[in-house]
Structures are given as C-alpha cells and as structure tokens.
Structure 1
C-alpha cells in the first residue's frame, strides 16, 4: 500500500451530517427544534402536573407528577411524521396511542395512524401547545389519572384549559444527524438540500489544499444507506455514492489515499447523531450483522482494488456494553467480505468506546493487514475539566503515549488514532497554548504505525477545523 503512516483528516459532516459542525444546514426546516429523537416533556397547565408513561411504558399515561423526575417516566421521544405531526416513544421503546375509550396509553410496539399526534403551538408562546389526536379531538388532562383525547373546540390558551400543555424540550436531547435533516426537510426538499451540500462542502480544491499542506489521506465517514444508492430507504436520499466516487478520483489526482469509514450503521451502534440514529436508542446487534456486512461487501467490491484506497473501517465508535461477542462476530464476517475483493486492503477495527484500548488486540492478531482504531479527545469527560494547558500536554506525553504503545506489538495489528483534535474546553487558552497542545499530539500520534486523522477538515469551530488551524498557523505539517 505504501505511504504509511498516514497524516490524514476526517471529512466529517460531508456524507454523514453532524449539525453541531454546521447548524445552518438545518435553518430551512419548519419546527427545526422538533426533529426526530428530540426529548420533550408535557405539563398540564390546569393541573400543573407532568404527563408520564407509568412504568416507562406498557400501561396508561397519567398526569400526576409534580416534577419531571426520571428519564424513564416523563420524557417522550419524538418521531417526526410531518412538520407538525409526531409519534411519541417512551422509555421502554413503546409508542403512545389511544385505546378504545380514547384514553392515552403507551402500549404500541410500532407507530401508525392511532399513534400519530399533531402538536399545535401558540404563535405568541411556542412552548404552549395543544395536542390533536388521530380522532380529530384534543388531548386533555381531566384528572391525574385520566388523560384522554376527547376535548372539542377552540381555546384562549388560558392555564385553566385542560387541553393546554406546556412543552419543554429537554436540554441536550436534540439530534442533528442524517436522519434528522432528511426527514426534517422531507422527500420534496431534502434531495436538493443534500445535493447542494455534497457539491459545495468538499471539492477537489480541498484535496489540492490538503495535499499541498502535507496531508496524505482522508478518512471519509459514510452511512449504511450509501449501499442502496441511488434509492436508499426513506428518509435518506441518493447522491452520496457519487460524491464518494468523486473523492476517490480527487485523491488519485492529488496523490492521496481514502479511508472509507462506515460511520453510521443500521440500528445505530452508539446512539449518537453521527450514527444515523433516528432517536438515540442503540439497536444494533446480532440481527443487524448480515445487513451491515452487506454494506462492507458493497464498498469492498466497488473500491477494493482502487489505487487510492487506504483502508476500509468496519464500524465507527461502537458503544455496545456487554455485546462484545456480537462485535467480534461482525468484524470476522466483515473482514472476510473485504478479503473476497482485496487481499491487500487494510481492514480497520474500531476499538469499542466503552472498553480499554487493547480489548481487540488478541482478536485482531488472527487477521492479516488489520488496524486497530482508537479515538483520543481531551474532552467529554470530567477528568479534563480542571486541567490547565500544561496538564493536558503532560497527559498526552504520558497517558496517551502509554495507551497507544499498548496496542503496538511485533507482527500484530497496526494502530491508528482515527480521531483527535486540538480543541480544548479550557477558557482563555492562547494561540501558543493551542500550538503546544497540537504539537504534543502530533509528536505522540505520529508514532502510530497506520497514522492519525484529525477531526475534522471543516467545522464552524476554528480549533476543530484542520483547514483553519493550518491557514492560521496553529499547525504546520509540511516542513
């Protein structure tokens, strides 16, 4: 394959949407604060009590809690049907519906018309809402134990009206991934919105810039729906495959390699928006393995012998708890699928995010030309919250270096820092601080036998964007 170790960058938010990186992509969506997966709470303005799915689902819906205590009871997860119509999923993954007496119950395993409700917002105060059920009538909290869809007529939006509720969007629950943007815009608008994004977010000019500034590879996150292009299952839209084809051509034109990374798998492997999830639940497991292997086989068949292929990553950031055997089973089958089309392509195994770095070491040793991918962020954990810049740097030279060396063995798998960033949650850090922090990581991660990949090439936040870090003199890769 040559060119190892790679100096790479992730083309995040290109073929798998991540709204935090470019929020403006979502600006044209009606009710863009009510996307798939958003968690909401409803409080009866008359009773001053929260709606709850008793026992987390499986029985009645009541209006009997003074406080919105417990995710398992008072939060409802939105499945978006249209701009204003939704299904409500509860903690036990069941859906709210009307029973034969128009009482509200949380007993459905899949949504259809009886599980569909329209949220009607007050134009003066959008947090004040009414909820219209499939029978055309409005929900009302008659008492703490009777919530029904049998209220007729209009409202003055007064707090004494039993059909008026206060809706709270749970902070931090909003997802802005591929499912949310395509379902949010809908089948008429989404194809053009996504095509415009793919055509402009990354171009051949970006590959020229990367190559001229010392980068030798790109890691490109893709979603499982790419294997069904040009007509993927709804709400996803076709076109990302053509963009990936372009990337291979541009990489070849500029002497770079492409690492194709299956970032979003069917069923979601970690519940995060970048996994393509609809609602944040982790569903991936044994039953999803055949379909996920089929995606890898599709990619291997298409690109396995392309001169610009740097590797195929089988899954990004699995967070599967005790489901490690299923992950190994999948990795075995997906590796075999790649080898049907290429004996030389590197196959990359992402380390489970909830396990030690060396969890896969002995397992990976049975394969040929495999890589273990670890992601290192000095973020997202309490242990980093009170560190100063020097402590962050010392952590890189000591702990990160030790972790990385633990997955480097003679004749074993290669190692790869597939994601890292110079971003810090530290307030008041200077340009020199960021330069020193970035240099420390480059010093350590350059010892990875397969290389490293910065997250990301472009981002609204400067220190997350390698393009901006290079342009502004924070990072210099080419001497």
Structure 2
C-alpha cells in the first residue's frame, strides 16, 4: 500500500510539473519600463571620457584614429594610389577619403596604417624592398612603423620602418623607407605634419583596453565594472518606477581570457546585475551590443577602426555567444529577453545574412528556454518594417526600434514644440505600423530626452519626456531610455533627469 501511495504521489508530481504554464504577459509586467546601462560592460567613451585620461603615452593615437599626412618638403599629402592596392604617393594638394589613414596601435609608439580600401601601408615584397605600398590585408612587421613625434610640435612626425630606416617622400611619386638622416626642418623628406581628424576619434572598448595595454587594462576595467553600476543603482531604479534594465554586452564576455586586447571579468558584473535585479524585482534584457567584426562600425560595437566587418563568416561565432548567454541565464527568474544583436548597419550587413543569424540565434535561445523573449534589432538606415513578416514566424519575438530626435538634418531647426509634435504624430504613426495584431511585439530599445533645441526650458523637457512616454508606452514589449548615467549632468542621464524632476516614471 505504501508503494502504491508513493506511485500515486509520483504521478501527481509529474502531472503538476508538466502543467506548469509558461509566463504570461501580465506575470512579467509588459510593457517594460527600462533603462540602458550603457558604458558599463561595453565602453562608450563619450559617456565617461575620464576612463581614458590615464593612458600614459600617445593617448591621442588610439586604434581607429584617422590621420592625414602632409610632406613638409613637398607640401603634398600622402595617398595610397587608387585608395589602396598599389604604391603610396605624395602628390595630393588636399586631403579627403583616400588621403586618410586609420591607425592600428601595436605598442605605445608603433602603429599600422590602414587605407581606404582596407589594405595596410608597408614595405614592398613583404619587407624585402624599400618602396612604400598599400597591398597587404594581413599586416605584420613590414607594415608596422614606429612614430616619432617632435618634442615642440607633437603633430610633426617621422616614421621608422621595420628595416630601421625612415619613410621619406623623395618625389611626388616616389615614397620609400630608406632615409638615414635626422632633423625636423621642413626640407627634410622624412618629416610629415600629421592632422588628426577629431570628429573621427573612437573611444570604445578596443581603444580603451589596447590603449592601457595588457598590464594596466585588467585593473582599469575591473575598477570600472565595480564602481560604474552598483546595487545601489538597482535600488534607485526600482524605487523610481523602472522595472527592467537593458544591459549591453560584448562578444568577449564569454571568456575569462578573451583575445587581446580585451580582458575578462565583465561576466561577473553581469552575474551581479541578475542578483540585484532579482532582489529589487526587476527584469533583465541582455543585449549583444558588440559582435565580433563590428556590425556597424561604431565605437559602441567595439570596432577597432570604424569599419563594419561583421558578415557571413561571423554568424556561427556570434550564435555561439548567444548560446553561452542563454545557457547561463535561461533559468534565472529575472531574465526577460536576449537581444541577438544591437543596431546592425544597412546595407553593410546583408539582410539575408542577418536573417540567417537571427534564425540560428533564436534556436540557440530556445534550446534553454521557451519563455524568454528573443529580440531582433532593426537594421540602421533600413525600412523599419523589413523584419515584420520574417519575425512573425517565430514565437515570443520582439522587434527593437531606436527613436532619437537627433543625428539627422530633419531635427536641426526644430523648436521644442515641433519636436514634441513629431513624437505625437510621426513616431506614433511609425510605431502603429509595427504593432501588427498577429506579429512580433515591439520595443523602443533606445530613446532619450537629449535633443538639438537650444535654450529649452525645464517645462519643455518635461513635455518632451511626457510625449515620448505617452507614445512609446504603446510599444507592446516596452521601452528603454538611453542611458542611465553620463559623466555630465544632462538629459543623456536618466538618473539625473529623475533626481532633478525632469521626468517622473512613477506616474506612467
């Protein structure tokens, strides 16, 4: 009889386990009101410029810095002929794209120079000759130059090649690495005036970690992760009307010893975030913000030099990152969703390739959870509805759109009321188009109260904030403000906006 009762009990247990329902929308409190924890686990220097202050040498020559090089003797700019693939000349009277070089920082003082067509400047015949060419796509010693800077003018420079000799512009069509002299006078053919394009200066994770180098970067990053976002921040967010966070992460988070220059440790910070979220009743959206190869060429995707190079060859390794994240957090009660990739760039990221990745990424998440939502981010510069029919074939999927009243000429001359009207009219219409009855849910994954209006009053900001909350509140999955913190007191910081009564999230 005892065995029979045990059998009945066991059957009842199986029945109860098999009948546990999946989470309903109400149980995870959709739509979410979230904030992005930008610059925490993926560096964005514009949010905290001081992170870069203690890079000891050549901190203005980080990876991806774009420079133009004027021969002081010829008064002409260096240029890879045809943008790359052949010789380098010094015959341009003005500088544009072809005359611009992107730096790869190898050490504090040695660099490689990438040209318009993505080849690297170097010595011909893999270092066996002295003529300067731009033909290699796999740079090595013969494409590495030491930059010597003049003590009185740091932008007056000379390049020492791997053969120990200096690069010189002998004539407008003959540029070689065979100069043995010294001096900084204008007539010296090895002297160049370097112009740094300040508007092309990258301050992302790659620049930060490679700038500090392998000895200093681990401690710099660990200190940043430990202090930038803490448990107190989650307590503050929860107490002020937020019920979720969107956390940007980079592909290197999967390893304790990622490829240089990245350093391990950000995964522990993400673990902490889940612990704090559970304690304060919040949900977490894990967002792959930086994919290997860079999906958009921006510093927030941790590009090395500003080129977008994520593509077909990166699909499987990116799926592997999603698989790792899903396997680690699928059973955590605070996980709301995994966003497969942030802001892929059109047309640089092919739509068919992106769909292939999204399909495989979705399957990777579903190996571990049927309840977590999977977010597909729209491509930048593309039709915002291009994923609608594709996404409709999947269960518990969300389309992420980003709405900024910035970055385009459209908003340059708008006053406060025109910006507000644009939200209520155009943004509302755009969102309604995406809110398909039988389609995916919608998510305004990034928005802000920063705008181009000068002299706006506090009331203007409050009205702008309310307009966006009113409209984006109709996104069926929710919204996430960008960002939680900024080094300065301004509308890019949601914490500052809350503390100074520019926005009230408790009333929405």
TM-score, length basis structure 2? 0.92
* Cα deviation 1:220-245 (Å, max 9, x = unaligned): 000001112x1111110000000000
Partner of 1:46: 73
1:284 aligns with 2:310: yes
Partner of 1:9: 35
* Cα deviation 1:80-116 (Å, max 9, x = unaligned): 0011110001111111111233111001111111100
Partner of 1:204: 231
1:243 aligns with 2:303: no
Supply the RMSD in Å over aligned alpha carbons: 0.9
Offset of residue 411 of structure 1 = 2.6
**Distance in 1 between residues matched to 2:346 and 2:320, nearest whole Å:** 20
Partner of 1:96: 121
Partner of 1:310: 336
Offset of residue 471 of structure 1 = 0.3
**Distance in 2 between residues matched to 1:292 and 1:255, nearest whole Å:** 30
Offset of residue 460 of structure 1 = 2.3
Offset of residue 154 of structure 1 = 2.3
**Distance in 2 between residues matched to 1:427 and 1:409, nearest whole Å:** 37
Q: Does the residue aligned with 2:134 lie in a helix, a strand or coil?
A: strand
1:81 aligns with 2:111: no
Of 424-433 and 75-84, the range deviating more from structure 2? 424-433
**Distance in 1 between residues matched to 2:63 and 2:213, nearest whole Å:** 12
**Distance in 1 between residues matched to 2:384 and 2:77, nearest whole Å:** 43
**Distance in 2 between residues matched to 1:159 and 1:311, nearest whole Å:** 60
* Cα deviation 1:121-158 (Å, max 9, x = unaligned): 11111111111111111111111011111111321x21
Partner of 2:506: 478
**Distance in 2 between residues matched to 1:233 and 1:162, nearest whole Å:** 39
Partner of 2:161: 133
Partner of 1:264: 290
**Distance in 2 between residues matched to 1:400 and 1:346, nearest whole Å:** 24
**Distance in 2 between residues matched to 1:136 and 1:101, nearest whole Å:** 13
**Distance in 1 between residues matched to 2:462 and 2:449, nearest whole Å:** 8
Partner of 1:319: 345
Given candidates 199, 208, 231, the residue that maps to 1:172 is 199
In structure 1, runs of 5+ residues without a counterpart are none
1:37 aligns with 2:64: yes
**Distance in 2 between residues matched to 1:78 and 1:426, nearest whole Å:** 35
**Distance in 1 between residues matched to 2:447 and 2:214, nearest whole Å:** 35
* Cα deviation 1:49-71 (Å, max 9, x = unaligned): 00000011111000001111x30
2:168–2:178 Cα contact (<8 Å) kept? yes
TM-score, length basis structure 1? 0.98
Given candidates 363, 385, 389, the residue that maps to 2:416 is 389
* Cα deviation 1:8-65 (Å, max 9, x = unaligned): 0000000000001110000111211111111111100010000000011111000001
1:67 aligns with 2:71: no
1:252 aligns with 2:278: yes
1:104–1:149 Cα contact (<8 Å) kept? yes
**Distance in 2 between residues matched to 1:101 and 1:309, nearest whole Å:** 58
1:113–1:134 Cα contact (<8 Å) kept? yes
**Distance in 2 between residues matched to 1:131 and 1:184, nearest whole Å:** 20
Offset of residue 271 of structure 1 = 0.5
**Distance in 2 between residues matched to 1:294 and 1:44, nearest whole Å:** 47
**Distance in 2 between residues matched to 1:153 and 1:239, nearest whole Å:** 47
Given candidates 429, 441, 446, the residue that maps to 1:414 is 441
Offset of residue 285 of structure 1 = 1.0
Offset of residue 181 of structure 1 = 0.4
**Distance in 2 between residues matched to 1:18 and 1:330, nearest whole Å:** 25
**Distance in 1 between residues matched to 2:109 and 2:457, nearest whole Å:** 45
Partner of 1:399: 426
**Distance in 2 between residues matched to 1:128 and 1:253, nearest whole Å:** 56
2:388–2:434 Cα contact (<8 Å) kept? yes
1:53–1:61 Cα contact (<8 Å) kept? yes
Offset of residue 170 of structure 1 = 1.6
2:346–2:382 Cα contact (<8 Å) kept? no
**Distance in 1 between residues matched to 2:318 and 2:189, nearest whole Å:** 48
Partner of 2:462: 435
**Distance in 1 between residues matched to 2:169 and 2:427, nearest whole Å:** 55
1:269–1:320 Cα contact (<8 Å) kept? no
Offset of residue 171 of structure 1 = 3.2
2:391–2:440 Cα contact (<8 Å) kept? yes
Q: Does the residue aligned with 1:136 lie in a helix, a strand or coil?
A: coil
Q: Does the residue aligned with 1:399 lie in a helix, a strand or coil?
A: helix
**Distance in 2 between residues matched to 1:44 and 1:433, nearest whole Å:** 51
In structure 2, runs of 5+ residues without a counterpart are 1-22
